[in-house]
Amino acid sequence: MFKLRSLFTPFLLLLVLMTPALSLADDTTAPAQQEEDAAPKVNPSVELPKMQKILDKIKGQVSGDTNENQLNQLNEMALELSGNAETLGQALVPQLQQLDAQLAVLGPAPKADSGVKETPEVTRKRATLESQKSKLADQIKQADGIKNGALVLSSQIVNLRRDQLKNQLALNSGSILGPRFWAPLVSRQDLDGEKISDFVGELQDTAALSWEPGWRMGTVGWLLAAMLVMTLGRRYSEEFLAWVSINKMPEGRLRRSFLAAAIALTTLMAVVLTYNFMALAFTRRDEVSADVQDFVERLAQVSVYCGLIAGLGRAFLSTRRPSWRLPAISNEVALALKPFPPITAALVFIFQTAESFNYTVGTSLNTTIFANGLTALLIGSTGLAISMRTNRVRRRMAQEGNPPEARPTVVGLVQLALTLTAVAVLLSLIIGYVTLARFLSYELIWCGILFGAFYFLSHLVNDGCESLFSVSSATGKRLQTSLNIDERYLQQAATLLSALGKTVLVGFVALALLNGTFASSTPIELIQKVIEFWGGKGLESLNIVPAHMVNAILCLVVGIYVLRSVRRWLDKDFLPKTTMDIGMRVSLVTLFSNIGYVLVILLTLSIMGLQWNKLAWIVSALSVGIGFGLQEIVKNFISGLILLTERPVKVGDLVSISGIEGDIRRINVRATEIQLGDKSTVIVPNSQLISQNVRNATMGNAQGVVTIQLTFPLDIDPVQVRELLLEVYRENERILETPEPSVSFKDLTPGGIVLSVTGNVASQRQIAGAKSDLLFDILTRLRKEGIVLSTPQTMIIERRAVPAGTANDGESLV
C-alpha cells in the first residue's frame, strides 16, 4: 500500500509556522519586509497541487479492495488533509486582506473623462496588486475545495465502512455458545482499546468540566431536579391527572381511557425530563467535544422510547387502580407482570447506550457483534419470561379454584407472537445469526410500542367522541341546544369522528411499520414521512421489486380489513341512525363495497409497480374475451350497477317476474336473490330485471287492495248483504279508512247475484293475511244472519236400462 503519510511530512511544519510572506512592490514598508523575511515562505502554487495529488491518491486507494483497518487509516488521512488545506486557506486570508488594504490606499482608477491623470507607476502597482489578489483568491478557493473534498471523502469512507460492517454482520457470525462470541470480554483489540480509552477520556473530561468551581452548584441543581422529576414529579402529576379524571371528566368510559393515557404520558415525560436534566448537568458547557454531544443526543432519542415502554406497561397493568384497568387482565397476572416494563425499558436503554458508544467510537466488528448479541439475548429472554410467567400465574389461579379471565382471541395471538418471536431470537443467537436476532428483538419492542399506543389512543378517541357528543354531557347538551338538532345526529357525528380518528391512527401505525424500526426512526422522522407520503413523495415511479411485493401484500390485507370494517360500521352503526330505508342502505353498502374492492386492487397493483401504459395487450385480450365468453357476465355486472344507482327495484321490494313473486333480499354484482313465500331463494340474473317486465308491488310505498267476490241466491236482500259486508271490512283493523271500503254489483247470473267487496291495506304484504281474516268474519256473520251463499248447480246425466220402445230410450236428466 502506498504510504500516503510520508507525503505530509514536507509541509506539516511549514503549515504550522506559516505566516503571510507574499512579496509586494519595491516600496513596501521596512517593518513588513522584516516580518516576511523572518517567516519561512510557503508557495501555495506548489503546495496546493501536492494536496490535490494526495486527495486523488486517497480516492484511488478507497476505490480498491480495502479492509476495515485500511479504511480507518484512509479516513484519518483524509481528515488530516482537510485540516491542512483549511490551515493553508486561513493562512492566505490575511494576505488577501493586506492586498485589499493596499488597493484601498491606491483607490480606484480615474475615469477617462474626469481630467485626472495618475502616474504610470501607480497604474502599474494597481495592476500588480489586482493580479496578485485574483491569484490569491483562486488559491483560497482551491484550498477550500480540497478541504471540502477531503471531508466528503471522509464521509464516504465512513459510510463504506458501515456498509461493509452491515454486510459482515448479515452473515453467520458464530454462535453465542462459542468462544469467538465472548472473546471481546477476554481480549480486546488494540485499535478498540485505544478508541475506547480516548472516548472514555472525553467523557471524564466532560464530567470534570461540570465539576469545576463556578459550575459545581449548577450540576448539583440539575441532578437534584432530575431526581425530583423522576420521583415526586411523576407521582404528583399522575395524582393530579387522576383527580382531573375523577372530578372534571363526565361519568363513563372516558375517565378510564384518560387515566390510562395520563399514566403513560406522565411516565414518558418523567423519563425524558430526567435524562435531559442529567445531560444538562454534564454537557451544558461549550467546551464539551462534538463526539460527546453526539453521544448524548442519541441517548436522548433512546430515552423517548424507554419512556414509552415504561409508560405503556404501567398503563396496561394499572396495578394501583385495578378497577380502572382498560384490558381484561386479572389482578394476579398484572402484579406478576409489574416488574417487566421497567426492566425492559432499562435493558433497552443500557444496550442502546452500548450500541451508541460503539457507533461513536467506531469499534471493530467483533465488539459490535458482541454488543448486538448480548442485546438480543436479554431482550429475547425477557419476552419469553413474560409469556411463561403469564401462563404460570393463570395455571395457578385455575388450580386454586379461581379461574382467570377469558382472554379474547387477539390477546392469545399477541402472546403467541411474543413467544414465537422470543424463541426465534434465541434460536438465531444459537445458530450464529446475531444481526437477525437483534433485528427481531428490536422489531418486537417496536411493534409493542406501536400497538400499545394505538390501543390506548383508539380507546381515548372513541370514548372522547362519545362523551363530547353525548346529550348527557355538558358539551353535548350545549351542541344540541345551540344547533337545534336531533340526538341521532349527534350520535352520527360521534360515530363518524371516532371512525376518522381510528382511521388516522391505523394509517400512522401502518406507515410506522413500513418505514421505521426501533432505534432507526424518531417520532419527528415518522411525522416527516407522513407529510412526505401525503405530498406524494416516493410514488413517482414504482417498479416490481421484492420490497414492493411485500408492501403490496400488506396493503391488500390491510385494505380488505379496513374495507370490511368500514362496511360493517356503515351497515351496523352509521346508516341505521339515518332516515334511509333499508333498501337504500343495502344499496349504498353494496355499491361502496364494489368500488372499494376495485380501488384496493388497483392500489395493490400500483404498489407492486405495475405500469398501466404497458397493459395494452391485456386490455385487447380482455376485449376479445368479453366479446365471446364474458358477454353475459359483463352484461349482468352493468345491469347490477344500474339497479344499484337507478333503483327500479331495491332490497325489500315485493316483485313478480316470469311467474315468480317474492321479496328482494340482496342485489349482488351478477345476480339478484329473491326470497319466495316458502323461504326458498331464486337467483335471477340482473339483466332480466332490466330487460323483462317486472311488477314491483311495493314501489313508492303502494297500498294493497283486498277484493273478495261472493255469489248469493237471487232471493236475498242486496242492501242487507251490502251493509253486512261493509261492516265486516270497517271492523277489520288492517283495512284503511281512506279510501273507504266499497261493495259493487258485479253481475247477475242464473246462478245468483255476484257482489265484489273491496278495501285498502297499508302494504301489499298485508293482503293475504287481511283477506283470510275477512273471509273468516264474513262467513261467520252470514251464518249468524241466516244468509247462505249460492250453491253451484251441477248437471248429472245417467244411463240406465229401460224397456224397449220408451220415449227417452234409457236416458234421464237430473
pLDDT given at position 274? 92
677 or 680, higher pLDDT: 680
Residue 23: its pLDDT value, please? 33
Q: Rounded to whole angstroms, what are the CA distances from 623 to 79, 618, 631?
A: 66, 9, 10
pLDDT at 530 over 80: no
Instruction: Count CA atoms within 13 Å of residue 331 on its CB side.
Output: 7
Q: What is the pLDDT of residues 188-201, one digit of tens each?
A: 554 567 777 888 88
Q: pLDDT (tens digit, 9 = 90+) per residue, 422-432?
A: 999 899 888 88
Q: How far apart are CA 173 and CA 435, in angstroms?
A: 9
Pair 292, 398 in one domain? yes
Are 640 and 709 members of one domain?
Answer: no
Contact status, residue 419 vs residue 387, Cβ threshold 8 Å: yes
What's the pLDDT at 518? 52
Q: Residue 632 to residues 217, 666, 691: CA-CA distances in angstroms?
A: 87, 20, 13
Q: Which residues of 712-728 are buried (b: 16+ CB within 10 A; e: fewer)?
A: beeebeeeebbebbbeb
Cell triple for 236: 404528583
166 shares a domain with 144:
yes
Per-residue pLDDT of 203-236, as tens digits, reads 888 888 888 888 889 889 999 999 999 889 888 9
Residue located via cell numbers 455458545: 177
61 domain residue, yes or no:
yes
Please say whether the beta carbons of 377 and 429 come within 8 A. Answer: yes
pLDDT at position 32 over 50:
no
pLDDT at 273: 92
pLDDT digits 0-9 by tens, 353-365:
887 887 777 766 6
Strand order in the sheet with 704-712: 704-712, 752-761, 742-749
Residue 411 lies in a domain: yes
The DSSP bridge pattern shows strands 752-761 and 704-712 to be antiparallel
* Longest distance between any two alpha carbons in the chain, whole Å: 182
pLDDT at 270: 92
Question: Cis peptide leading into 341, omega within 30 of 0?
Answer: no
What mean pLDDT is predicted for residues 250-259? 83
Structure-derived torsion over alpha carbons of residues 43, 49, 55, 57, reported in degrees to the nearest 10: -120
Q: How far apart are CA 321 and CA 309, in angstroms?
A: 19
pLDDT tens digits, residue range 743-770? 888 888 877 888 889 998 887 778 888 8
Is residue 25 domain-resident?
no
Residues β-bridged to residue 813: 797
Residue 116 belongs to some domain of the structure: no
User: In the chain, how many domains are there?
Assistant: 5
Query: Does residue 383 surpass a pLDDT of 70?
Result: yes
Where is 620: in which H helix or E strand?
Answer: helix 616-628
- Choice among 244-248, 580-584, 709-713 with the minimum mean pLDDT: 580-584
Q: How far apart are CA 782 and CA 572, in angstroms?
A: 51
CA dist., res. 644 & res. 130, Å (int): 85
Kindly report the average pLDDT of the chain as a whole number.
77
Asked if residue 654 lies in contact with residue 661, where contact means CB atoms within 8 angstroms, the answer is yes
pLDDT attached to residue 22: 32
Name the grid cell of 722: 251490502
Q: Output DSSP code: residue 41.
A: P
- Average pLDDT for 571-595: 77
Q: Which of 435, 433, 407, 437 is nearest to 422 (CA)?
A: 437
Residues 632 and 738 in one domain: no
Could you give the percent of the chain with pLDDT greater than 70?
Answer: 79
C-alpha cell, 269: 415525560
Extract the C-alpha cell encoding 123: 497604474
Which tens digits make up the pLDDT trace of 463-495?
888 888 887 777 888 888 887 777 888 888 888
Domain that holds residue 525: 180-534
User: Looking at 45-49, 74-78, 228-232, 527-531, which range is the least confident one?
Assistant: 527-531
* DSSP letter assigned to residue 791: P
Grid-cell match 281512506, residue found: 738
The mean-pLDDT minimum among 155-169, 254-268, 675-689 falls in: 155-169
Q: Is the pTM of this model over 0.75?
A: no
| Region 363-390 average pLDDT | 82
**4 inside domain:** no
Q: Which of 439, 419, 443, 418 is nearest to 428 (CA)?
A: 439
> What pLDDT, on a 0 to 100 scale, did the predictor assign at position 162?
65
Q: Is 70 exceeded by the pLDDT of residue 685?
A: yes
SS (H, E, C) 223-255: HHHHHHHHHHHHHHHHHHHHHHHHHCCCCCHHH
Residue 231 within any structural domain of the chain: yes
Answer for the pair 705, 760: CB distance below 8 angstroms, yes or no: yes
Q: Are residues 509 and 572 in the same domain?
A: no
Do 591 and 472 lie in one domain? The reply is no
Same domain? For 661 and 764 the reply is: no
Q: How confident is the model at residue 813 (pLDDT cuts 50, 70, 90)?
A: very low
Whether the predicted pLDDT of 706 surpasses 80: yes
Rounded Cα distance, 396 and 390, in Å: 10
128-142 average pLDDT score: 86
| H helix intervals, 432-486 | 434-468, 474-483
Q: pLDDT class for 626, splitting at 50, 70, 90?
A: low
Dist CA 778 CA 313 (whole Å): 76
User: Are residue 209 and residue 147 in the same domain, yes or no?
Assistant: no
- 37-41 long-range contacts, CB within 8 A, separation 24+: 40/14
Q: How far apart are CA 291 and CA 203, in angstroms?
A: 9
Alpha-carbon distance 655 to 694, whole Å?
Answer: 7
**Mean pLDDT, to the nearest integer, of 555-561?**
85
Indicate whether 600 and 647 sit together in one domain.
no
Q: Write down which residue in 700, 728, 758 finishes a domain.
A: 700
Supply the pLDDT for residue 648.
Answer: 81
User: Residues near 442 by Cβ (< 8 Å), separated by ≥ 6?
Assistant: 379, 517, 518, 519
Domain assignment present for residue 725? The answer is: yes
- The pLDDT assigned to 9 comes to 35
Q: Tell me what percent of the residues of the chain surpass a pLDDT of 90.
A: 3
In 3D, which of 465, 555, 467, 553 has the Cα closest to residue 502?
465
pLDDT for position 364: 66
Nearest to 693 by CA among 637, 631, 649: 649
For helices 409-431 and 434-468, the axis angle rounded to 10 degrees is: 160
pLDDT at 28: 37
Q: In the prediction, which pLDDT does 224 show?
A: 93
Residues 529, 488: one domain? yes
What is the rounded distance in angstroms from the CA atom of residue 249 to the CA atom of residue 244? 7
- Residue type at 359 in one-letter notation: Y
Q: Is residue 539 part of a domain?
A: no
- Segment 125-143 mean pLDDT: 85
Q: Is 301 exposed, middle or buried (0-12, 13-18, 19+ CB in 10 A)?
A: middle
Same domain flag for 237 and 310:
yes
* Helix boundaries (H) for 486-534: 487-515, 523-534
Over the stretch 161-185, which tens digit does the pLDDT of each residue have? 666 655 555 556 677 887 777 777 6
Of 680, 700, 720, the last residue of a domain is 700
Residues 310 and 385 in one domain: yes
Q: Given this model, what pLDDT does residue 15 score?
A: 35
252 CB neighbour count, 10 Å cutoff: 14
The type of residue at 641 is L
Mean pLDDT value across residues 579-599: 77
Statement: residue 308 has pLDDT above 80? yes
Neighbours of 657 (CB within 10 A): 19
pLDDT band, very low/low/confident/very high, at 800 (cuts 50, 70, 90): low
Q: What distance in Å separates the CA atoms of residue 219 and residue 279, rounded to the nearest whole number?
A: 10
- Nearest-5° angle of CA 761, CA 764, CA 769? 70
| Matching residue, cell 370490511 | 564
N-terminal to C-terminal alpha carbon distance within the chain:
137
